[in-house]
Structures are given as C-alpha cells and as structure tokens.
Amino acid sequence: MTRKEIATLFIHETSSGNVEKVFNAHVSLDFIHHNIYFKGDRKSLIDAMIESAKTFKDRTVKVFQVIEEKDIVMTHSHIVMVPGQIEVIAIHIFKFVGSKIVEMWDITQLGPEEVVNENGLF
C-alpha cells in the first residue's frame, strides 16, 4: 500500500469509526499530533476520534486531493459532520517513516452557509 493510500484510508477509517483498527495497522506507537484541542499523544487522539465517531454517526468524508512529497502526504477533504448542518473543509498533513504515520497536523475550516466564490470550495 502506498503512503497516499494509507493517508486516504486513515481519513476514511477514522471518520467511520474504525479508529483503533487503522491506528494499529498504520500508525507508529511513537505517533504525535498537533491538533490544538487534545493532548499531543497517540492515545488522546484515538480516544477523541472514537468519541467523534460515536457523536457524528452519519458523518461522510470525501477526499479530493492527495499530495505526496518525500516523507509527507497531505490530504484535502470535505467532511459532512451533520448532513445539511455542519460541514468541514480539512487538510491533514502526515509525516511518515517507512509505511507508518509518525506525526500529523490537521487544519480545518467550517463550511460557510453561503459561498460567494463561483468556483466553490472544491
């Protein structure tokens, strides 16, 4: 499996509730992250992602772009947390060592109610 495929799988699996499965298969035990809302260790993010999957059971994700350069993979996604109510534009940046994710950054923006730009969000 390529790094791009692993990053995309990570986004889909964590969003659908298969958090521990994807972490066990593709994330280093020494993993750290930079999400400002949670402690920076692996377990804290796993717990938060499990809780999020329980809270937003109808969440859907579409990954639009995946870019790889050296040991970094970036995904650009559209996440609908609550259909018709809450949508998020997300960029995840993954650092890999070999085929394992060792570090992650995520940047999110709530989708606006009205989009002025004729090109849309994607």
Contact of 30 with 101, CB cutoff 8 Å: no
Query: What Rg do the C-alpha atoms of the chain give, in angstroms?
Result: 14
- Give the CATH architecture of domain 3-110: Roll (3.10)
Work out the average pLDDT over 51-62.
Answer: 94
* 99: pLDDT strictly greater than 80: yes
Instruction: Please report which helix (H) or strand (E) contains residue 57, including its range.
Output: none
Mean pLDDT, all residues of the chain: 95
> What pLDDT, on the 0 to 100 scale, is given for residue 122?
81
**Domain residues of the chain, as ranges?**
3-110
Distance between CA atoms of 61 and 69, rounded to whole angstroms? 23
Q: What is the pLDDT of residue 114?
A: 84
Q: How much is the average pLDDT of 4-10?
A: 98
Query: Per-residue confidence at 121, pLDDT binned at 50, 70, 90?
Result: confident
Q: pTM value?
A: 0.93
Percent of the chain topping pLDDT 90: 86
Burial class (CB in 10 A: 0-12, 13-18, 19+), 76: middle
Report pLDDT for 85.
87
CA atoms within 13 A on the CB side of 37: 9
Q: Which residues contact 91 (CB under 8 A, 6 or more apart)?
A: 74, 75, 76, 77, 106, 107, 108
**Confidence bin at 113 (pLDDT 50/70/90):** confident
